[in-house]
Amino acid sequence: MSRVRIQGARVLDPASGRDEVGVVDLVDGRIESVGRESAGVPDEVIEAQGLWLAPGFVDLHAHLREPGQEYKEDIESGTRAAAAGGYTTVCCMANTDPVNDTPAVTEYIQRRARESAAVRVRVIAAATQGLRGEIMSEMAGLAAAGAIAFSDDGAVIMNAAVMRRVLEYARGIGRPVIAHCEDLHLRGSGVVHEGAHATCCGLPGSPAEAETAMVARDLELARLTGAHLHVAHVSAARSVELIRDAKAAGVRVTTEVTPHHLALTDETVRSFDTNYKMAPPLRSARDREALREGLADGTLDCIATDHAPHALYEKDVEFTAAPFGVVGFETALPVALELCREERMTPLELVDRLSTRPARVLGIPGGTLEPGAAADLVLLDPERVWKVEQPRLSSRSKNSAFLGRELRGRALRTWVGGRLAFALGEGELA
Amino acid sequence: MRHLLGIEEMTRAEIERVLDASEAMLEISQREIKRVPTLRGRTVINVFLESSTRTRVSFEIAAKRLSADAINVSRQGSSLSKAETLADMARNLAAMSADVLVVRDSVAGVPHMLAERVRVPVVNAGDGCHEHPTQALLDAFTLRQSLGSLENRVIAIVGDISHSRVARSDIHCFTKLGAEVRVAGPPTMMPAGIEALGVKPCFSLEQALAGADVIVMLRIQQERLDGALFPSVREYSRTFGLTQRTLALAKSEAIVLHPGPINRGVEIASDVADAEPSRILEQVTNGVAVRMAVLYLLTGGES
């Protein structure tokens, strides 16, 4: 029997609506009690006055790069970074090498996770074979092997008939399809948001409509098929409107937004810094405002990082030649906390978007402090100020859009199944 | 000035300092012995990773007239073809004690990227669709020769504005010098938010040229046909080509610039390109002088 008592923290549990200072007892990897002390003498008491205690965060969109691109990240380094960001579950996308489109790869990833992961890893498998957008993958077999959702992510399924069949088939298996909505023809060679900033710096732009036209298509297909569509990393104001209307009309759609799209705009590309290059691109201030509003009113369900590690030398090239994507596990919390500081959302709503709703969207455990649930928790200091610098990031890759910035808020300890997966080093406490 | 990366970053005073210095450099080019010892012992490396004749030769002549050693690097036969990254190549060139790197690349932002990574002054000789600052400076210099001042002059820039680095640099330069700038072309060649640069977009030649003092014709790149930006060369030249007929839409004393190379019979008719209002060859002559001035100022010529 191991008993851990965390006392004095502000306990935030969106699943029960609890937001109060109290005691949480963990016994043998499970949550024993919340709000009152359980019987028995704790082996360890953690004094957490002034801190927040929340269910561990659930990231339903990440790239762990294993197998195949371990020089960028692997399951060990990626999940260590996730734990450092307060995450207890991360879902990894299928664009590994080989692509995760067979039960063998799905099982391999889960085995590597059991061997090396600091947090829980859930597997998203390819929707089509080889991410080619032509023939659907063996979704039933993949689901039986452990895949919790299907997605071709950035390899967008451009053929609407194929997307329709994927949605229909996934519906039969009871799993969502996660769609990276971007019309690749309309995007063309675009690498940044089309607008005055792209025009000024002469970089090829991609209009917001490259996303919104595809969001509209996929919402129509979700309506047609009755399938659960999850729209990944919404970036445009008009997408939020389309999704709001579809939800009101009863379409089964859920969504996510990234911290970088909530925080940054296309103005950043004026620096030609490739750490501001991602797909979808950072958009206008008006788009960013609509994303914040959509997250606050629940149109956007979740915050997901789209953690996309790339080696430094891969980003140290001409802007158009650089790969898309940024790392995100370790900066998501402080960036998202800005919305609380701006009083756009309550802390309870924020934890809901980072933890409870992502778990519900995917129908996986987590996101709750209910007694009996696995002790997946994060103890965080919402006021801790720290500077984002390469050596401080646990991820093998350092391609953060927030390098050099001072952020406020940091995970101090992360437990996964009662085991301490991360504790901020003493050197970091100063 | 530490680098010359774009006109956008320059003040009007800095632009005028380059133009003033160019006057003296032009005089050197008109001497019988076209060489002064000003930059003797200095090394200028021209890194031209996109094909160019005019600009590369112009920079090379500029360096040599100032007695600098000029070395040319092109993509073919360079270490880039051995998969060395551009940043590494620039670091290596800088390590050979280069005094100036002149950089031309097909990707916007490359000179900025290199300027952050080497401790050598970098001159942008054209980066993708972003800027071509020495072209704008030589355009402004040429206009100053003909018009005295650009203050309140009406300048129309016609062509593929979206893909033109000359257009962007000219817009910044001319507006900073007090001119009113219009841009014209089919909507498929007009970039989003161009108004943010302080210009008025026009979708017809008539609208753009009415009352214009200066017409800058841009080269139409026939490879853009693949991008379906215009249906045919014939239709383009009919709607946006400068001919004796359409030239008459502008002021009677209007002058014509073109950054070259020209497509005769496409964006500009031969009888316009070769006639009195054209300053196309003066632009080329002045280009050497302006680039001499830039190299001189960047290597500490002011002190």
pLDDT single digits (tens) B33-63 = 999 999 999 999 999 999 888 999 999 999 9
Q: How large is the average pLDDT for residues B253-259?
A: 97
3-state secondary structure of A239: helix
Contact A200 B108 (CB under 8 A): no
Contact B129 A204 (CB under 8 A): yes
Residue A95's pLDDT is 98
CA-based nearest residue in chain B for residue A196? B193
3-state secondary structure of A363: coil
Count of pairs with CB atoms under 8 A, one residue in A, one in B: 72
DSSP A263-306: H--GGGGGG--GGG--SSPP--HHHHHHHHHHHHHTSS-EE---
Contact between residue A96 and residue A366 where contact means Cβ atoms under 8 Å apart:
no
Instruction: Tell me what ipTM this predicted complex has.
Output: 0.92
How is residue A12 written in tokens? 């935030």
Handedness of CA A225, A59, A322, A135 (dihedral sign): negative
Chain A positions touching B109 (Cβ under 8 A) are 201-203, 272, 318-319
Contact A203 B193 (CB under 8 A): no
Contact between residue B202 and residue B182 where contact means Cβ atoms under 8 Å apart:
yes
| C-alpha A286, offset from chain centre | 23
Q: At what angle do helices B12-29 and B280-298 cross, to 10 degrees?
A: 110
How far apart, in whole angstroms, are the C-alpha atoms of residue B48 and residue A401?
31
Number of Cβ within a 10 Å radius of residue A28: 12
Contact B85 A198 (CB under 8 A): no
How far apart, in whole angstroms, are the C-alpha atoms of residue A301 and residue A296?
9
CA-based nearest residue in chain A for residue B166? A202
How far apart, in whole angstroms, are the C-alpha atoms of residue A131 and residue A152?
5
How far apart, in whole angstroms, are the C-alpha atoms of residue A159 and residue B168?
38
3-state secondary structure of A231: strand
How far apart, in whole angstroms, are the C-alpha atoms of residue A355 and residue B263?
61
Chain A positions touching B108 (Cβ under 8 A) are 201-203, 272, 319-320
How far apart, in whole angstroms, are the C-alpha atoms of residue A253 and residue A299?
10
Domain A56-362 belongs in CATH node 3.40.50.2300: no
Length of chain B: 303
Residue B206's pLDDT is 95
Chain A positions touching B175 (Cβ under 8 A) are none
B positions 28-47 inside 8 Å of A (CB) = none
Residue identified by tokens 């071509």 is B132
How is residue A283 written in tokens? 């958009």
Q: Where are the domains of chain A?
A: 3-53+373-393+400-429, 56-362
Contact A207 B8 (CB under 8 A): no
Q: Is the pLDDT of residue B24 over 90?
A: yes
CA-based nearest residue in chain B for residue A206? B192
CA-based nearest residue in chain A for residue B192? A195
**First vs last Cα of chain B: how many Å apart?**
12
Low-confidence ranges of chain A (pLDDT < 50): 429-430
Is A297 designated active site? Answer: no
Chosen from B130, B188, B224 to mutate, greatest number of chain A CBs within 10 A: B130
Band of residue B303 on the pLDDT scale cut at 50, 70, 90? very low
The three-state DSSP-derived secondary structure of chain B is CCCECCCCCCCHHHHHHHHHHHHHHHHHHCCCCCCCCCCCCCEEEEEECCCCCHHHHHHHHHHHHCCCEEEEEECCCCHHHHCCCHHHHHHHHHHCCCCEEEEEECCCCHHHHHHHHCCCCEEEEEECCCECHHHHHHHHHHHHHHHCCCCCCEEEEECCCCCCHHHHHHHHHHHHCCCEEEEECCHHHCCCCHHHHCCEEECCHHHHHCCCCEEEECCCCHHHHHHCCCCCHHHHHHHHCECHHHHCCCCCCCEEECCCCCCECCCECHHHHCCCCECHHHHHHHHHHHHHHHHHHHCCCCC
Top-tier CATH class for A3-53+373-393+400-429: mainly beta
3-state secondary structure of A226: coil
Nearest to B214 by CA among B289, B270, B136, B287: B136
Residue identified by tokens 């859009």 is A401
Contact B129 A203 (CB under 8 A): yes
Residue identified by tokens 């009863």 is A250
Give strand ranges (E) for A28-112.
30-34, 44-47, 52-55, 57-62, 87-92
Handedness of CA A397, A401, A405, A409 (dihedral sign): negative
The catalytically annotated residue of A301, A306, A352, A381 is A306
Nearest to A99 by CA among A129, A73, A74: A129
- Give, for A109, the enclosing helix (H) or strand (E): helix A103-116
Which domains does chain B possess? Answer: 12-132+284-298 (3.40.50.1370), 133-279 (3.40.50.1370)
How is residue B116 written in tokens? 């952050």
The shortest CB-CB distance from B168 to any of A202, A271, A313 is to A202
Q: Does B8 touch chain A (CB under 8 A)?
A: yes
pTM: 0.94
Provide residues of A within 8 Å CB-CB of chain B: 188, 194-205, 207, 271-272, 313, 316-321
B positions 210-249 inside 8 Å of A (CB) = 227
Give how far B123 is from chain A: nearest CA, Å. Answer: 16
Band of residue B221 on the pLDDT scale cut at 50, 70, 90? confident
Number of Cβ within a 10 Å radius of residue A394: 18
Number of Cβ within a 10 Å radius of residue B303: 4
Residue A429's pLDDT is 44
3-state secondary structure of A315: helix
Q: Does B209 touch chain A (CB under 8 A)?
A: no
Residue type, B148: G
Contact A197 B193 (CB under 8 A): yes
Nearest to A336 by CA among A246, A260, A277, A426: A260
Partnered with residue B104 across adjacent β-strands are B48
Contact A272 B87 (CB under 8 A): no
Handedness of CA B294, B295, B298, B303 (dihedral sign): negative
| C-alpha A151, offset from chain centre | 14
Residue identified by tokens 């199944």 is A417
Integer CA distances (angstroms), B215 to B143, B195, B254, B257, in order? 11, 19, 7, 6
How far apart, in whole angstroms, are the C-alpha atoms of residue B242 and residue B262?
12
Rg (CA), chain B: 19
Contact A202 B128 (CB under 8 A): yes
The mean pLDDT of chain B is: 94
